[in-house]
């Protein structure tokens, strides 16, 4: 009996066992199986001699099998089949993006893929980590956000994104946008955002704060470029430079920040005004709990917020972070231990991690 923990996007255990027993080609691309006695993994339809059930292990994809120390079968070439399935799923994702404003049932998408609805559902989730419906919802949300940013009315934006009713959008407004559509469209309207600029050891830095705390802290090429970026992020807010008399608190925060990135103090515990989608805010809040000197992978971040499949979404949330260092996305590395990307440059990421590790061992 195979007692390994299965991936939730894979077929049921009995179905997989039957598929390899009958060499069912319909399941090629949905999973692979490995044989521990030979160290080889195959596609379900492989014509190789069948192994004893107790020696068989099931994996969602070739990458998982390789991570377990297995090598691909030269007869059935499971990697090639998986690549074909992945390519088909990418094509379906592109189709959803192009038709995001239309109603797209699982049956409609399955016809596009020339698969059964159940096969598409399992394979889509195995490749992209989310269901076709969740991907469609995200694509409609991007349309909605783009229209709101462009200044279109809330009703016009909701209709253009293909949502069937305003109540559905407002009911999940906080979950999807991190705020209601009207608030998202406001772009900081009615707010005054104060900023301070410094040349730091890691380069030009601009920090800005609204009533609730720091809402922007970014490195750039110079003050003018950073102020322009701040105004792009908050196009309807009043943006003003700080002064010692009116904004002493912000200047104190900037000094504490400078001491930290110079390696002379731990990360300051400043009030933060996190603005983004609900998913992004979950990622950022999770990162705030990562101890200084520690690092983790994007998959660990996804698991830490309860969505282990959303690895790419977690990486995108890190890339969308507009509060450098204070929200420590620099502590997230690739699964192989490589630095990966960083919104403000990989060299800054390396310097930040090295400085934090030195403080941890001092």
What fold characterizes domain 278-361?
A: Arc Repressor Mutant, subunit A (1.10.10)
Asked whether 29 and 123 are in contact (CB, 8 A), the reply is: yes
What fold characterizes domain 13-77?
A: DNA Methylphosphotriester Repair Domain (3.40.10)
CA distance 224 to 251: 19
Asked whether 22 and 9 are in contact (CB, 8 A), the reply is: no
The answer regarding whether domain 192-261 maps to CATH 3.30.160.70 reads yes
Q: How do residues 174-186 score in pLDDT, each as one tens digit?
A: 344 444 555 555 5
Q: Does pTM top 0.85 for this prediction? A: no
Residue 212 has which token pair?
A: 């609730």
Looking at residues 46-50, what average pLDDT do you find? 90
Identify the pLDDT of residue 234: 85
Closest CA to 81 of 89, 163, 181: 89
329 is annotated as an active-site residue: yes
Looking at residues 26-49, what average pLDDT do you find? 90
Catalytic residue among 46, 215, 318, 329: 329
- Is the per-residue pLDDT at 167 higher than 70? no
Catalytic residue among 42, 46, 76, 215: 42
180 φ, ψ (degrees, to nearest 5): -70, 160
Pick the range with the lowest mean pLDDT from 6-10, 13-17, 89-93, 292-296: 6-10
42 is annotated as an active-site residue: yes
CA distance 11 to 352: 43
Looking at residues 182-207, what average pLDDT do you find? 79
214 φ, ψ (degrees, to nearest 5): -65, 125
Give the whole-number percent of the chain exceeding pLDDT 90.
27
In three-state form (DSSP H/G/I as H, E/B as E, the rest C), the secondary structure along 66-120 is HHCCCEECCCCCHHHHHHHHHHHHHHHHHHHHHCCCCCCCHHHHHHHHCCCHHHH
At residue 273 the predicted structure's pLDDT band, cuts being 50, 70 and 90, is confident
Mean pLDDT of the chain: 81
Are β-strands 238-241 and 213-219 bridged in parallel, bridged antiparallel, or unpaired? unpaired
CA distance 249 to 306: 36
Asked whether 9 and 122 are in contact (CB, 8 A), the reply is: yes
At residue 160 the predicted structure's pLDDT band, cuts being 50, 70 and 90, is low
């Amino acid at each position: 009996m195979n007692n390994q923990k299965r991936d939730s996007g894979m077929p049921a255990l009995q179905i997989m066992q039957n598929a390899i027993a009958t060499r069912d080609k319909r399941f090629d691309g949905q999973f692979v199986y490995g044989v521990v006695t030979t160290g080889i993994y195959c596609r379900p339809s492989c014509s190789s001699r069948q192994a004893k059930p107790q020696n068989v292990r099931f994996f969602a994809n070739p990458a998982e099998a390789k991570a377990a120390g297995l090598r691909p079968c030269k007869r059935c070439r499971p990697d090639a089949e998986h690549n074909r399935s992945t390519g088909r799923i990418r094509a379906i994702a592109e189709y959803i993006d192009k038709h995001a404003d239309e109603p797209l049932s699982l049956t409609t998408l399955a016809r596009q893929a020339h698969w059964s609805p159940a096969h598409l559902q399992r394979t889509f989730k195995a490749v992209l980590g989310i269901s076709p419906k969740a991907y469609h919802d995200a694509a409609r949300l991007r349309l909605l956000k783009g229209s709101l940013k462009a200044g279109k009315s809330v009703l016009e934006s909701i209709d253009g994104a293909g949502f069937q009713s305003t109540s559905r959008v407002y009911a999940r407004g906080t979950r999807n946008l991190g705020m209601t559509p009207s608030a998202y469209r406001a772009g900081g309207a009615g707010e005054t955002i104060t900023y301070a600029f410094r040349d730091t050891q890691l380069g030009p830095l601009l920090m800005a704060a609204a009533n609730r705390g720091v809402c922007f802290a970014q490195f750039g090429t110079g003050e003018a470029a950073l102020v322009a970026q701040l105004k792009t992020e908050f196009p309807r807010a009043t943006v003003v430079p700080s002064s010692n008399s009116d904004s002493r608190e912000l200047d104190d925060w900037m000094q504490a920040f400078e001491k930290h990135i110079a390696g002379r103090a731990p990360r300051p515990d400043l009030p933060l005004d996190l603005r983004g989608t609900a998913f992004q805010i979950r990622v950022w809040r999770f990162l705030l709990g990562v101890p200084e000197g520690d690092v983790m992978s994007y998959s660990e971040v996804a698991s830490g917020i309860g969505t282990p499949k959303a690895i790419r979404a977690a990486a995108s949330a890190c890339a969308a972070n507009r509060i450098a260092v204070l929200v420590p996305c620099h502590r997230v590395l690739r699964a192989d231990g490589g630095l990966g990307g960083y919104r403000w440059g990989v060299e800054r990421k390396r310097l930040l991690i090295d400085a934090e590790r030195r403080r941890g061992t001092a």
